[in-house]
């Protein structure tokens, strides 16, 4: 049952409080402390964080909503719509994307999730050259299509949705790929051929050779080192394809997992004693990652995509060039539906509908009488906005996180003092 809307308070979350109070300090210390590990500072990071800090802030404007029956009113704050960083806005986009994928894109055939990972020693290339992530995606695609061709004995075109992820369970830098792949592909005659269960080790071998060859071509890795890596018993290249989706609904669920947000706000907390951020990445008490505030900011912002970087890609039957050209075909229990014209993306869902889907509350439901409320104004003029805020005595205060442990501060002071004498 849909509940009554209650204003969200991003300023109360751990993520917001840390960024609000420590982002400026992070910028000041970035070059000396984080540049070596995370590379040159990217301007997109500052832009995205500033937009996120305005998300849900009444001072940035809001919609005025009124009930026509009892004349009750409330304000709905504007969102930032940042890509891949704001948990609230990302969740709304995820619901919209999932519905489009299920209703307009996915073929009515079983799918598998195929996860591609690379060795730790190669991650640095992708940390400092983010454009290589797109090339990594194409390497995985070439290895997958080659595997399908070998398995089927003919050239097949599968449907592939590829998601590029840069984060691991501990918010660390861990570039890897999630593919949602049809269990087979279409031949030149338009017939869908099912491919037997994927041999992960064989596909990992093909993937490793593609990636190493690409790095050699770009002169980032010597041919000798590439051959040495391939000679190892455990190269570090890995493929996992055990997750299977039999229906479009299951495939949608897998797809939404593939492009999930960076972190869960419910798993974040403060360590009051140490003055650190704690992130619970597992269910066991020991599965807790502790970070000081600046390190937390560095980790989270490092996963913000570059300007124009595409993190979700479509290949084969799901590529724009082919989605409208697939003919109806059938092979036993694997019917392939007909697509006459180019698939049209569903129109963007209204903000009210997105809130209903994500938070299971209706922002247009009157909390007093239950009638349907209406938007009577969108307020963006700062002078008017400030007068309303003062009149309603609205507050938007992000409390400062707990201070760092005093002992830790003393260690830092001692180190600074000794440096004065020995530098």
Backbone angles phi, psi at 192, to 5 degrees: -85, 125
At residue 409's C-alpha, the angle toward residues 403 and 410, to 5°, is: 145
- CB atoms closer than 10 angstroms to residue 218: 12
Distance CA 126, CA 122 (A): 8
pLDDT for 242 equals 93
As given in the structure block, the two tokens for residue 408 are 């830790």
Sign of CA dihedral 344, 348, 349, 354: positive
Check residue 186 and give its pLDDT: 87
| Together in a domain, 36 and 167 | no
Whether residue 205 is found in the same domain as residue 162: yes
Handedness of CA 386, 388, 392, 396 (dihedral sign): negative
362 near 356, Cβ under 8 Å? yes
Do 40 and 120 lie in a common domain? no
Same domain, 205 and 142: yes
The parent domain of residue 149 ranges over 108-262+303-336
Report whether 286 contacts 323 (CB < 8 A): no
pLDDT the model gives residue 247: 95
Q: Which helix (H) or strand (E) covers residue 413, if one does?
A: helix 406-422
pTM of the complete model: 0.82
Q: How far is CA 416 from the centre of its chain?
A: 39
Q: Clarify whether residues 118 and 252 are in a common domain.
A: yes
In this predicted structure, what is the pLDDT of residue 330?
37
In a domain, 98, yes or no: no
Do both 22 and 171 map to the same domain? Answer: no
> Which residues of the chain are modeled with pLDDT < 70?
1-7, 323-361, 405-423
Residue 272 lies in a domain: no
pLDDT of 384 reads 84
324 and 203 both lie in a single domain: yes
Q: Do residues 318 and 378 share a domain?
A: no
pLDDT in tens, 275-320: 999 999 988 878 999 999 999 999 999 999 998 889 999 999 999 8
Number of domains into which the chain is organized = 2
| Co-location of 256 and 175 in the same domain | yes
Do both 128 and 177 map to the same domain? yes
Residue 343 counted as domain residue: no
pLDDT of 338 reads: 33
Q: Give the dihedral sign, CA 399/25/286/304.
A: positive
- The answer to whether residue 9 sits within a structural domain is yes
pLDDT of residue 288: 92
**114 and 69 within one domain:** no
**Ranges of H-type helices in 310-403:** 320-323, 351-359, 382-392
> Do 376 and 238 share a domain, yes or no?
no
The β-bridge partners of 288 are: 280
Residue 290 lies in a domain: no
**Residue 366 forms part of a structural domain:** yes
Q: Beta 329-331 vs 374-379: how paired, if at all?
A: unpaired
């Amino acid at each position: 049952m849909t509940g009554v809307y209650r204003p969200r308070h991003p300023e109360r979350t751990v993520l917001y409080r840390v960024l609000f109070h420590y982002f400026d300090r992070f910028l000041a210390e970035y070059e000396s402390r984080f540049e070596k590990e995370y590379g040159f500072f990217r301007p997109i990071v500052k832009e995205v964080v500033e937009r996120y800090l305005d998300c849900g802030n009444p001072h940035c404007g809001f919609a005025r909503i009124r009930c026509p029956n009892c004349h009750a009113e409330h304000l709905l704050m504007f969102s930032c719509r940042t890509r891949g960083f704001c948990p609230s806005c990302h969740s709304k986009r995820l619901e919209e994307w999932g519905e489009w994928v299920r209703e307009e894109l996915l073929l009515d055939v079983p799918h598998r999730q195929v996860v591609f990972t690379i060795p730790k020693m190669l991650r640095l290339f992708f940390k400092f050259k983010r454009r290589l992530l797109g090339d990594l995606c194409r390497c995985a695609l070439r290895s997958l299509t080659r595997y399908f061709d070998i398995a089927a004995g003919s050239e097949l075109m599968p449907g592939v949705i590829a998601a590029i992820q840069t984060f691991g369970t501990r918010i660390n830098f861990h570039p890897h790929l999630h593919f949602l792949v049809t269990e087979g592909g279409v031949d030149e005659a338009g017939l869908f051929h099912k491919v037997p269960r994927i041999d992960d080790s064989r596909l990992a071998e093909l993937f490793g050779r593609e990636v190493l060859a690409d790095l050699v071509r770009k002169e980032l890795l010597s041919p000798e080192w590439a051959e040495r890596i391939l000679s190892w018993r455990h190269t570090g290249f890995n493929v996992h394809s055990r997750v299977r989706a039999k229906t479009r609904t299951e495939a949608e669920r897998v797809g939404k997992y593939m492009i999930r947000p960076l972190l869960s706000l419910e798993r974040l907390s403060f360590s009051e004693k140490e003055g650190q951020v704690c992130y619970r990445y597992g269910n066991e008490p020991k599965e807790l990652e502790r970070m000081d505030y600046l390190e937390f900011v560095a980790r989270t912002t490092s996963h913000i995509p570059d300007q124009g970087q595409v993190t979700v890609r479509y290949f084969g039957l799901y590529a724009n060039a082919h989605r409208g050209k697939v003919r109806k075909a059938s092979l036993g229990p694997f019917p392939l539906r007909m697509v006459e014209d180019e698939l049209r993306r569903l129109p963007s869902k209204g903000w009210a509908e997105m809130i209903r889907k994500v938070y299971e509350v209706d922002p247009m439901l009157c909390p007093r009488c239950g009638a349907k409320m209406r938007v009577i104004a969108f307020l963006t003029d700062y002078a008017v906005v400030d007068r309303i805020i003062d009149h309603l005595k609205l507050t938007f205060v992000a409390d400062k996180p707990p201070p760092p442990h005093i002992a830790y501060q003393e260690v830092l002071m001692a180190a600074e003092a000794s440096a004065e004498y020995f530098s």
